Amino acid sequence: MNIQLTAVFRKVPEGFIAFVEELPGANTQGETLAEARMNLEEAVALVLEANRALAEEDLLGTDFIREPFALVA
């Protein structure tokens, strides 16, 4: 699967803040650009994991279909 997202890094006096435009909640910071990039990868993984857990909790006891979904840009 190939999904392209947009990472934004803003220089601030403390280092960098970072977020993914298309994924609300995926934001972080770092003292260096490299640290901000690494932290952003972790933030994205955590947001996706949390969203899946919330969806699974919401679906408990319901009749639903789960299938792979690929987004090709």
- The residue range of the domain holding 21 is 7-59
How many distinct structural domains can be found in the chain? 1
Which amino acid makes up residue 1? M
* pLDDT at 62 > cutoff 70: yes
- Can you tell me whether residue 2 is helix, strand or coil? coil
Nearest to 43 by CA among 27, 24, 67, 60: 27
Please state, in angstroms and rounded to a whole number, the distance separating the CA atoms of residues 69 and 23: 17
pTM of the model: 0.84
pLDDT tens for 12-59 read 999 999 999 999 999 999 999 999 999 999 999 999 999 999 999 999
Let me know if residue 64 belongs to a domain.
no
Let me know if residue 28 belongs to a domain.
yes
Nearest to 5 by CA among 30, 52, 37, 34: 37
Give the pLDDT of residue 72.
Answer: 77
Let me know if residue 36 belongs to a domain.
yes
Please state, in angstroms and rounded to a whole number, the distance separating the CA atoms of residues 70 and 55: 18
